[in-house]
């Protein structure tokens, strides 16, 4: 049951906050860093602002430390955005970026899964396997999207993200938890707000730092769905693997034997493939769903 | 130092006498322990014949009822040091609709994987009448511990089919779920939740 208030707090507010956050960040940094350097600045902070604002408006501010493990995501949004900003602004070597992404993903996933995995004997093998699979797929998700972000406009990356985040929210809604579905929806709305603002600013924006924060939060929400609600590990894997479809297309269009057509067609194909894989998970969740009158 | 020595058969008789006195003494102690109400032992909750029911208002319209099927615990109300301990497995929630139970077990409400048990531990028990007890204690629900007060009534006593003495207790009380951090969908499902706990207990 979603009310108008839920739509406002869960979609309009995070979208508006993220868009306003990016515009403000670019305006502030443009004079200090110059137009070119400011293009990669502010994205992670804008997404974190939209995400935190939406979650706060929907569920209120939880105490610290939070009761429910999924509430850690709200507190992690800011540190992740700082790590994303560092990733975006400093030209770090690949090994350092890999280490930073691994630390971010492992940190987020350990915090949200701790109530289950702290008792290793009872969490083995299902809980431990879910954490390991989510960890590996989330790190791969970040790197796959990072490579795409280096070649695509920020708005294009935003479209790819929305193609998987929106179906993920619907899958979670069918997997027993409206709260996790709304959390995923807020993340999608915040990414949408950032992407819209990037589009409004022109095609020059760079999605640097975005994969780290979005990938870590997305992996965290999905892991909560598997550990604490009824999201199957298969659907979790499909949702996290969806972006690799775009990465494969990117690799394919980059080959000389198909030419160097990296225009609108490949972007549409990429988004369609990502959406198709994500909707595969949605179809599986829908077929398994039996409300039984509830 | 005085030493008394007994010859052969007399020594054996003295030993038997001592043994007999010991048996009588142990038997007396056991009987007196069973007979005295001041030394009563704690009784265990019989999950099959106990019920933990809850009632919540749906959309400010009707009352929805549910129950928890897995309840355990120990009660000792007659001893000089009375205590009540009850544990309920959150995942045993039963509302007659599996999808609703799945939702109630999710992080939206009970978050049963993270908080697998609801517990109550008494901190103070006072007899408030014939078969009535005023019980103060700590209820832990959804990871939040809060002090509550309940009036416990002894509903009866008897013997079960195995001949074991059994005793029944019942209480009902209202909690605010938001006090325990369960704040989701307060506009659709009331904050006040009525709990009815009926326990049948016996020696195990």
Nearest to B90 by CA among B112, B73, B109: B112
The phi, psi pair for B86, rounded to 5°, reads: -130, 135
Does the pLDDT at position A277 exceed 80? Answer: yes
Sign for the pseudo-dihedral over CA of A227, A228, A232, A237: negative
Task: Burial-class residue B51 by CB neighbours within 10 Å (0-12, 13-18, 19+).
Answer: middle
Q: Give the pLDDT score at A151.
A: 77
- A61: which DSSP letter? P
Nearest to B183 among A3, A60, A229 (CB): A60
CA angle A124, A129, A131 (to 5 degrees): 110
Q: Give the pLDDT score at A98.
A: 85
Nearest to A116 among B108, B113, B183 (CB): B113
Q: Give the pLDDT score at B30.
A: 40
Query: Look-up: residue for tokens 């697998």?
Result: B116
Across B79-103, average pLDDT: 93
Does the pLDDT at position A285 exceed 70? Answer: yes
Mean pLDDT rounded to a whole number for chain A: 88
Task: Check: CB of residue A23 under 8 Å from CB of residue A197.
Answer: yes
Nearest to A19 by CA among A53, A47, A56: A47
Cβ pair B106:A176 closer than 8 A: yes
Chain B neighbors of A227, CB-CB under 8 A: 113
Question: Which positions in chain B have a beta carbon within 8 angstroms of at least one beta carbon in chain A?
Answer: 97-100, 102-103, 105-108, 111, 113-114, 142-144, 181, 183-185, 187-188
Mean pLDDT rounded to a whole number for chain B: 84
Q: Give the pLDDT score at B177.
A: 97
| Residue-wise DSSP of B40-102 | PPPEEE-GGG-EEEEEEEETTTEEEEEEES-EEEEEE-SSSS-EEEEEEEGGGEE-S-HHHHH
Task: Burial-class residue B108 by CB neighbours within 10 Å (0-12, 13-18, 19+).
Answer: buried
CA distance B51 to B48: 8
Across A142-161, average pLDDT: 87
Q: Which residues contact A98 (CB under 8 A, 6 or more apart)?
A: A143
Chain A neighbors of B143, CB-CB under 8 A: 67
The tally of CA atoms less than 13 A away on the side-chain side of residue A273 is: 16
ipTM beyond 0.90?
no
| Best A63, A70, A115 residue to mutate vs chain B (most B CBs within 10 Å) | A115
Beta strand pairing call for B144-159 and B165-176: antiparallel
Q: Give the pLDDT score at A250.
A: 74
A19-40: pLDDT as tens digits: 999 999 888 887 777 766 677 7
Nearest to B86 by CA among B3, B174, B200, B9: B200
Q: Does A60 touch chain B (CB under 8 A)?
A: yes
The phi, psi pair for A250, rounded to 5°, reads: -60, -45
In the stretch 120-139 of chain A, residues with CB closer than 8 A to chain B read none
Across B171-199, average pLDDT: 95
CA distance A89 to A91: 6
| Token reading at A17 | 């906050």
B118-153: pLDDT as tens digits: 999 999 999 999 999 999 999 999 999 999 999 999
A248-273: pLDDT as tens digits: 877 776 654 444 455 677 778 888 99
Cβ pair B102:A3 closer than 8 A: no
**In a 3-state reduction of DSSP, which class is residue A175?**
coil
């Amino acid at each position: 049951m979603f009310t108008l208030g839920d739509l406002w707090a869960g979609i309009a507010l995070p979208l508006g906050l993220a868009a306003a956050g990016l515009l403000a960040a670019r305006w502030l940094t443009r004079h200090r860093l110059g137009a070119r350097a400011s293009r990669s600045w502010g994205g992670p902070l804008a997404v974190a602002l939209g995400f935190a604002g939406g979650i706060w408006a929907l569920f209120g501010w939880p105490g610290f430390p939070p009761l429910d493990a999924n509430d850690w995501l709200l507190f992690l949004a800011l540190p992740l955005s700082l790590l994303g900003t560092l990733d975006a602004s400093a030209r770090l070597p690949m090994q350092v970026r890999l280490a930073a992404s691994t630390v971010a993903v492992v940190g987020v996933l350990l915090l949200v899964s701790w109530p289950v995995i702290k008792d290793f004997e009872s969490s083995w093998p299902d809980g431990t396997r879910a954490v390991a699979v989510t960890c590996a797929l989330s790190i791969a998700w970040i790197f796959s999207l990072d490579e795409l972000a280096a070649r695509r406009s920020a708005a294009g990356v935003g479209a790819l993200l929305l193609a998987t985040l929106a179906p993920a929210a619907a899958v979670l809604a069918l997997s027993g938890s409206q709260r996790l579905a709304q959390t995923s929806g807020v993340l999608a709305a915040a990414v949408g707000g950032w992407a819209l603002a990037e589009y409004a600013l022109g095609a020059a924006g760079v999605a640097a730092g975005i994969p780290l924060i979005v990938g870590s939060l997305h992996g965290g929400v999905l892991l909560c769905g598997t550990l604490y609600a009824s999201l199957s590990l298969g659907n979790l894997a499909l949702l996290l693997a969806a972006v690799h479809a775009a990465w494969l297309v990117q690799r394919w269009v980059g080959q000389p034997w198909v030419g160097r057509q990296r225009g609108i067609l490949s972007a549409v194909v990429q988004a369609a493939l990502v959406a198709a894989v994500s909707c595969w998970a949605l179809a599986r969740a829908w077929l398994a769903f039996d409300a039984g009158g509830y | 130092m005085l030493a008394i020595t007994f010859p052969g058969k007399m020594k054996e008789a003295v030993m038997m006498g001592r043994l007999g006195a010991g048996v009588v003494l142990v038997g007396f102690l056991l009987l007196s322990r069973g007979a005295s109400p001041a030394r009563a032992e704690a009784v265990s909750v019989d999950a099959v014949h106990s019920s933990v029911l809850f009632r919540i208002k749906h959309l400010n319209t009707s009352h929805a009822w549910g129950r928890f099927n897995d309840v355990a615990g120990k009660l000792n109300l007659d001893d000089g040091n009375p205590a009540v301990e009850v544990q309920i497995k959150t995942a045993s929630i039963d509302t007659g609709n599996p999808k609703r139970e799945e939702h109630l077990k999710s992080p939206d409400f009970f978050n049963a994987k993270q908080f697998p048990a609801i517990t109550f531990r008494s901190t103070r028990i006072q007899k408030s009448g014939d078969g009535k007890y005023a019980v103060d204690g700590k209820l832990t629900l959804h990871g939040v511990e809060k002090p509550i007060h309940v009036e416990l009534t002894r509903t009866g006593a008897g013997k079960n089919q195995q001949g074991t003495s059994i005793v029944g207790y019942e209480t009902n009380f209202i909690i605010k779920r938001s006090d325990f951090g369960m704040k989701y969908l307060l506009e659709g499902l009331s904050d006040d939740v009525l709990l009815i706990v009926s326990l049948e207990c016996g020696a195990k």
